[in-house]
Amino acid sequence: MATGSEKFPNMHPVEGFRLGTTSASIKVAGRKDLVLMEIPQGSTAAAVFTQNKFCAAPVIVAKQHLQQAQPSYLLVNTGNANAGTGEQGISDSLSCCQAVANATGTDFHQILPFSTGVIGEPLPVETICAAVPAARDQLSENGWADAAEGILTTDTRAKGASTQFDIQGSTVTISGICKGSGMIKPNMATMLGFVATDASIDEELLHAALRKANGKSFNRITVDGDTSTNDAVVLVATGASGVEIDETNFDQFLTQLTDIFVQLAQSIVRDGEGASKFVTVNVEGADNVQEALSVAYAVAESPLVKTALTASDPNWGRILAAVGRADVNDLDVSKIQILLNSVLIAENGARAVSYTEAQGQQAMQAEDIEITIQLNRGQVCETLWTTDLSYEYVRINAEYRT
pLDDT greater than 90 at residue 184: no
DSSP 182-247: SS---BSB-SEEEEEESSB--HHHHHHHHHHHHHTTGGGEESSSPPPSS-EEEEEE--TT-PBP-T
**Distance of alpha carbon 229 from alpha carbon 251, whole angstroms:** 32
- pLDDT attached to residue 272: 85
Res 148 pLDDT > 60: yes
**Residue 142 lies inside a defined structural domain of this protein:** yes
Per-residue pLDDT of 186-205, as tens digits, reads 665 558 999 999 999 999 99
What type of residue sits at position 9? P
pTM, full prediction: 0.94
Quote the domain boundaries for residue 324.
Answer: 278-398
Over range 153-165, report the average pLDDT.
94
Question: What distance in Å separates the CA atoms of residue 190 and residue 184, rounded to the nearest whole number?
Answer: 6
Q: What is the strand order of the sheet 73-77 is part of?
A: 18-22, 34-38, 73-77, 111-115
Digit-coded pLDDT (tens) for 343-362 = 999 999 899 999 999 999 99
CA atoms within 13 A on the CB side of 274: 22
Quote the pLDDT of residue 243.
97
* Whether residue 322 sits in one domain with residue 215: no
Ranges 28-32, 48-52, 293-297, 316-320, most confident: 293-297
Comparison of pLDDT for 396 and 318, the residue scoring more: 318
User: With contact defined as beta carbons under 8 Å apart, do 178 and 144 qualify?
Assistant: no
pLDDT for residue 258: 98
- What is the dihedral sign for C-alpha 14, 17, 23, 28? negative
pLDDT in tens, 217-252: 999 999 888 878 888 999 999 999 999 999 999 999
Band of pLDDT at residue 274, cut at 50, 70 and 90: confident
* Pairwise CA distance, residues 335 & 167, whole Å: 45
pLDDT at 309: 95
Mean pLDDT of 38-48: 97
Our answer to whether residue 190 is catalytic in this structure is yes
Question: Of residues 158 and 398, which shows the higher confidence score?
Answer: 158
Do residues 294 and 192 share a domain?
Answer: no
Asked whether residue 264 falls in the same domain as residue 283, the answer is no
**Cβ(290)–Cβ(313) below 8 Å:** no
CA distances from 59 to 63, 91, 228 (A): 6, 13, 11
Query: What is the structure's pLDDT at 367?
Result: 95
Give residue 136's pLDDT.
98
Q: Within a domain: residue 12?
A: no
Give φ, ψ of 116 to 5 degrees. Answer: -150, 145
Q: Answer whether residue 300 shows pLDDT above 70.
A: yes
Residue 189 has what pLDDT?
Answer: 53
Is residue 6 domain-resident? no
What integer pLDDT is reported at residue 299 of this predicted model? 97
What is the domain count for the chain?
A: 2
Residue that terminates a domain, selected from 228, 248, 270: 270
CA atoms of 110 and 335, how far apart (whole Å): 55
The β-bridge partners of 38 are: 18, 73
- CATH code (residue 50): 3.60.70.12
Distance of CA 42 to the CA centre of its chain: 27
Catalytic hit among 85, 153, 190, 238: 190
Domain boundary among 214, 235, 270: 270
